[in-house]
Amino acid sequence: MNDADLPDQEIEPELASWILAVTGGRAVRSERRQGGASRAGYAIDVEHADGAVEQLWLRLDTGYGPQSSTLYTVRREGAVYGALRDSPVRVARLRAIHPTRDAFLAERLVGRNWFAEIHDPAEQVSTARAFMQQLAALHAIDVHELSLPELGSPTRVSEHVREELAIWEQQYVEGDVVEPVIALAFCWLAENLPDDGDWPVVLVQGDTGPGNFMYAGGDVVAVMDWEMAHWGDLHDDFGWLCVRDVQERFTALPDRIADYESFGGRHVDLDRLRYFRVLAQLRCAVGTRRGLLARDSRGEIANHLIYSTLHLRLLGDALAEAMGLAAFDLDGYLANASDIDTDASWLFDVALADLRDVVVPALPKGFAQQRAKGLARLVKFLRSTDRFGAVNAVEEQGDLSDLLATEVDDLMNARRELCARLQAGTIGHRAVAEYCQRQGARTTHLARDAMGALATRRYAPID
């Protein structure tokens, strides 16, 4: 098998040639795997002249994901892997960063990453404790000893928080479609910036927690997915941990915080954590919304829809708790929400039945089946929109009319006016936060069938 003889090859010939050049191999085989919302991932097997097979992982930017064409490049992520190679943090060994493409090659490790697949409670705790030990080790690294010019120079915690807010606000405004809960979060975070105190600048993994590390036998194999890495506050990673815990429960968070402190991490301030939970949730909301607004059918549109709905609602929850507001009764709202059938409901049901009983079973497990399941989620959302969309719009009009003290007949214009008043500081944050919680419940109602168990997930207690 030579360089040109690459059957069933999904990666481009240029990438295959580069892999052979940097590894000294004589043949390469690839299989596309899950790579994240903005990235593609490939399991790569490189055959060497002696017949030995080197197992590698190729990560590259698809060019159409939420973080494509942003600061958070794959090349930047690869640099973090390289910088951590000799640290106490377990990461895959970086093999090479592509000289011109947004891609890198690393060793492929054996392990699982879906924490929910661990069913033994003792193994769950053991694995979670092992991860907290890794997080404590990460935050104990002297950032001045890391060679990471790609992240800029470490300065003060508050300065890095301002940098993050500016980066994500730029992503938000590029969408040119307002979202009140996001606008509120930017205003609140800027006005409540935590002081530096004696908090050190650490390397923040970003998007850390279950799903973004590999495990086996109750221990951590490697921490992965460093695309959001940046200098910042240790509580930033705990904010992300709270967010990811909603998607995959990570055992009792107060116990895991105690583990972190006992493993040599600094004390975790819960009020400070609540601030950074808002910041982490804001970035999730901006990112998934960005994926939706791109309207690129090559992306994971169903996932963008589901997680955009989830993250916008959770952002409202995070803001409400940080402001000391009572939690909204989501379960009660959904239980009492309208239940309507339209003339088109049966057509959606037929499409869903065909996808479930005919199309998905006929496809081999892999990328095509995954996309077919995503299509079923989109059909469920369209069915709910047909049934409940008009009712929800009337409810929101009433809320915005009360909030703006004027009759609302155009929802988009009313949302723009609300965001403009937030920016001008002429409307109270608490009243807007209450509207945002109700709006989060309404959008969850539309996406409930597509979201499954995620529809009613809330933050776990941190104290």
Rounded to whole angstroms, how far apart are CA atoms 288 and 1?
41
Q: Are 311 and 284 in contact (CB under 8 A)?
A: yes
Per-residue model confidence (pLDDT) at position 31: 87
Reported as a pLDDT band with limits 50, 70 and 90, residue 339 is confident
Per-residue model confidence (pLDDT) at position 8: 38
User: Which is more confident, 422 or 297?
Assistant: 422
**Sequence-ordered list of residues with C-beta below 8 angstroms from that of 209, at least 6 positions apart, any chain:** 131, 240, 241, 243, 244, 245, 248, 250
What the chain holds in terms of domains, given with CATH numbers, is 13-107 (3.30.200.20), 115-332+386-456 (3.90.1200.10)
> Percent of the chain having pLDDT more than 70?
97
Q: Which of 50, 40, 101 is nearest to 75 (CA)?
A: 101
Per-residue model confidence (pLDDT) at position 337: 87
User: Does 1 have pLDDT greater than 60?
Assistant: no
Q: Are 46 and 28 in contact (CB under 8 A)?
A: yes
Within 13 Å of residue 59, how many CA atoms lie on the same side as its CB? 29
Average pLDDT over residues 191-213: 96
pTM recorded for the entire structure: 0.93
User: Between the CA of residue 108 and those of 57, 58, 85, what are the distances in Å?
Assistant: 5, 9, 15
Task: Give 387-414 pLDDT, tens digit per residue.
Answer: 999 999 999 999 999 999 999 999 999 9
Q: Which of 350, 389, 355 is nearest to 372 (CA)?
A: 355
User: Between the CA of residue 285 and those of 38, 173, 288, 363, what are the distances in Å?
Assistant: 14, 13, 6, 32
Taken in order 40, 147, 239, 433, the sign of the CA dihedral is: negative
Per-residue model confidence (pLDDT) at position 338: 81
Per-residue model confidence (pLDDT) at position 65: 76
Q: If phi over 0 gives left and psi between -120 and 50 gives alpha, with beta otherwise, what is residue 33?
A: beta
- What long-range pairs does 451-455 form, CB within 8 A, spacing at least 24? 451/306, 451/309, 451/310, 454/246, 454/247, 454/306, 454/310, 455/334
- Of 9-13, 15-19, 174-178, give the lowest mean pLDDT range: 9-13
User: Does 375 have pLDDT greater than 80?
Assistant: yes
CA Rg, the chain, in Å?
Answer: 23
User: Which tokens is 135 given?
Assistant: 């997080």
User: Does 176 have pLDDT greater than 50?
Assistant: yes
User: Does 436 have pLDDT greater than 70?
Assistant: yes
Per-residue model confidence (pLDDT) at position 5: 33
Reported as a pLDDT band with limits 50, 70 and 90, residue 9 is very low
Task: Give 42-61 pLDDT, tens digit per residue.
Answer: 999 999 999 999 999 999 98
What is the 8-class DSSP label of residue 179?
A: -
> Percent of the chain having pLDDT more than 90?
86
User: Which tokens is 374 given?
Assistant: 């995503």
User: Does 35 have pLDDT greater than 70?
Assistant: no
Q: What is the mean pLDDT of the chain?
A: 93
Rounded to whole angstroms, how far apart are CA atoms 49 and 34?
30
- Of 251-265, 329-343, 391-405, give the lowest mean pLDDT range: 329-343
Rounded to whole angstroms, how far apart are CA atoms 149 and 358?
52
User: Does 4 have pLDDT greater than 50?
Assistant: no
Average pLDDT over residues 148-168: 97
User: Does 84 have pLDDT greater than 70?
Assistant: yes
**Cβ neighbours around 342 below 10 Å, total:** 13
Per-residue model confidence (pLDDT) at position 298: 81
Per-residue model confidence (pLDDT) at position 68: 80
User: Which is more confident, 283 or 66?
Assistant: 283
Place of tokens 């009613």: 456
Per-residue model confidence (pLDDT) at position 38: 65
Task: Give 285-304 pLDDT, tens digit per residue.
Answer: 999 998 888 888 888 899 99
What is the 8-class DSSP label of residue 53?
A: E
User: Does 144 have pLDDT greater than 50?
Assistant: yes
User: Between the CA of residue 153 and those of 86, 157, 181, 203, what are the distances in Å?
Assistant: 20, 12, 32, 11
